[in-house]
Amino acid sequence: MFVSFRGYLEDGFNFKEVASLLSVSESTAYRRMGRYGLSQLQFTEITEGEFDEVLEEITKEYPSCGEGLLKHN
């Protein structure tokens, strides 16, 4: 189960698809992820400057992105 689960996640399957491929419920899949120390979250090393550049590109392309969230605060 461990190798299959990790392999599916690394191949880009989403969590619901992995549970279905393994013929288990999502709650069972979450339990097994915890047992094997797996995480669905993936992070990357990025500097603040690189983050600022990416954020600037996104806001230029999508100027109203996140506007609804800001208005609700």
For 17-55, the pLDDT digits (tens) are: 888 988 889 898 888 878 877 766 666 788 889 988 888
20 within some domain: yes
17 within some domain: yes
Total domains, the chain = 1
pLDDT in the model for residue 16: 86
pLDDT in the model for residue 69: 59
66 within some domain: no
pLDDT for 63 beyond 70? yes
Whole-model pTM: value is 0.45
19 within some domain: yes
62 within some domain: no
What is the DSSP secondary-structure string of 8-54? HHHTT--HHHHHHHTT--HHHHHHHHHHTT--S-------HHHHHHH
pLDDT band at 67 (very low <50, low <70, confident <90, very high): low
64 within some domain: no
Instruction: Supply the range of the domain harboring residue 16.
Output: 2-35
Q: How far apart are CA 18 and CA 8, in angstroms?
A: 6
